[in-house]
């Protein structure tokens, strides 16, 4: 079953998350955990002077889908604002839950299609997007 669920594309994306370790001097960090499966993440964000994501780092313990989502987040977050990250997290949650037919505008998000039918994986997938959006918002509040 996991052979079909964890496609080579999901496994490739999961490896990308590992290439984004914790940042030495983040502007903000957020830790989160899912009670459903126990996945946990600490997401570090560094914003540039224009208020856009410059760097992302993680400490992550999650299934391959959670890791793949973190890899997707890390690849697509650079150059986006806190507001854009929040909209992406909301859009991803709605798409996974079936409330929206079209996935959010995020590179390679289609790789997560097999997880839409497995609601137990949704919270792990959303961890990186939600914690990343929250970290970016916290970073921007720290500048005001």
pLDDT band for 4, please (50, 70, 90 cuts).
low
What pLDDT is recorded for position 1? 40
In the chain the domains, ranked by start, together with CATH numbers, are 2-143 (3.90.1010.10)
CA distances from 140 to 28, 87, 90, 105 (A): 9, 16, 19, 23
Q: Is the dihedral of CA 117, 120, 122, 124 positive or negative?
A: negative
**Is this prediction's pTM over 0.95?**
no
What pLDDT is recorded for position 144? 65
Chain segment 29-54, per-residue pLDDT in tens: 999 999 888 899 999 999 999 999 99
Mean pLDDT of the chain: 92
Chain segment 96-119, per-residue pLDDT in tens: 999 999 999 999 999 999 889 888
pLDDT band for 2, please (50, 70, 90 cuts).
very low
């Amino acid at each position: 079953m996991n052979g079909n669920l964890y496609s080579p594309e999901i496994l490739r994306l999961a490896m990308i998350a590992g290439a984004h370790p914790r940042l030495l001097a983040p502007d903000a960090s957020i830790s989160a955990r899912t009670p459903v499966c126990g996945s946990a993440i600490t997401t570090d964000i560094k914003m540039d002077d224009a208020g856009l994501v410059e760097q992302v780092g993680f400490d992550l313990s999650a299934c391959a889908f959670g890791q793949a989502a973190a890899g997707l987040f890390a690849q697509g977050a650079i150059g986006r604002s806190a507001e854009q990250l929040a909209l992406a997290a909301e859009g991803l949650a709605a798409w996974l839950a079936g409330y929206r037919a079209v996935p959010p505008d995020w590179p390679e998000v289609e790789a997560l299609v097999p997880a839409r039918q497995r609601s137990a994986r949704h919270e792990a997938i959303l961890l990186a997007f939600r914690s990343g959006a929250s970290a970016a918002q916290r970073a921007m509040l720290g500048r005001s």
